[in-house]
């Protein structure tokens, strides 16, 4: 008789504890992992946007390089060649 009363209390208590353990180490761990993956994805997306911005600036840099080369060529034509 005493054992039955004890079992009536112990079994639901064990079920509740088992549910809490599964929640703590299962569900919450998965949610944390999802959050970490989301942060990593956002970080990579931010880096990708930076790279795309740099790539978009490439034609401007190429035009500037051509202009500077022409400027250097014009300046070097003004110099007198000789030994120093």
pLDDT digits (tens, 9 = 90+) for 38-68: 999 999 999 999 999 999 999 999 999 999 9
Distance of CA 66 to the CA centre of its chain: 36
In this prediction, residue 84 carries a pLDDT of: 63
Longest dimension (CA), the chain: 116
**CA distances to 30, 40, 69, 72, 84 from 54, in Å:** 36, 21, 22, 26, 42
- Structural domain including 28 reads 2-77
pLDDT for 7 = 83
Whether residue 26 lies inside any domain: the answer is yes
State the total domains in the chain. 1
22 belongs to a structural domain: yes
Cα–Cα dist 49/51, whole Å = 5
Q: What span, in angstroms and rounded, lies between the C-alpha atoms of 69 and 78? A: 15
- Residues 11-35 have pLDDT tens digits of 989 999 999 999 999 999 999 999 9
The structure tokens listed for 26 are: 């299962």
Helices (H), 23-57: 28-56
């Amino acid at each position: 008789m005493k054992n039955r009363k004890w079992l009536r209390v112990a079994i639901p208590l064990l079920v509740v504890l088992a549910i809490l353990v599964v929640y703590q180490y299962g569900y919450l761990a998965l949610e944390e992992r999802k959050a970490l993956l989301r942060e990593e994805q956002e970080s990579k997306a931010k880096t990708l946007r930076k790279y795309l911005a740099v790539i978009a600036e490439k034609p401007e840099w190429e035009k500037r390089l051509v202009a500077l080369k022409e400027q250097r060529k014009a300046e070097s034509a003004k110099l007198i060649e000789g030994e120093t």
